[in-house]
Copies of this chain bind each other. A is one copy, B any other.
Amino acid sequence: MVKTLGTPRHQSLIAMLVEKREASGLTQTQLATRLGEYQSFVARLESGQRRVDVIEFIDLANILGFDPAAAIKRLSAEPN
């Protein structure tokens, strides 16, 4: 039984990451390669087993083609 990060905001964050990756047509493996990481890294991120660092988040936004500032704005408007 693995521990995951459970606040609503964190759930919302990782839901968005998954959504954006899928919208971009990348697989976990492809995204991982662009990040210089392993597929299991992305899997852990997306399953809430690993915290998302601010700088990593910006990198993810660049790769996945979304605006990190807008995403943060939406996130910070959410409860919690």
Bound form: Cα–Cα A54–B59 in Å? 12
A75: Cβ under 8 A from any B Cβ: yes
Question: Interface residues of A, CB < 8 Å — how many?
Answer: 20
Which residues from chain B contact A57 at a C-beta distance below 8 Å? 54, 72
Contact of A72 (CB < 8 Å), options: B10, B52, B53, B58: B58
Proximity bits, A34-74, B CB within 8 Å = 1, else 0: 00000000000000000111110110011000001110110
Bound form: Cα–Cα A73–B54 in Å? 12
B58 pairs with A69, CB closer than 8 A: no
A-B residue pairs in contact (CB < 8 Å), sample of 23: A7-B55, A9-B55, A9-B58, A10-B55, A13-B54, A51-B51, A51-B53, A51-B54, A52-B53, A52-B55, A53-B53, A53-B54, A54-B57, A54-B72, A54-B75, A55-B75, A58-B75, A58-B76, A61-B76, A68-B76, A69-B69, A69-B72, A72-B72
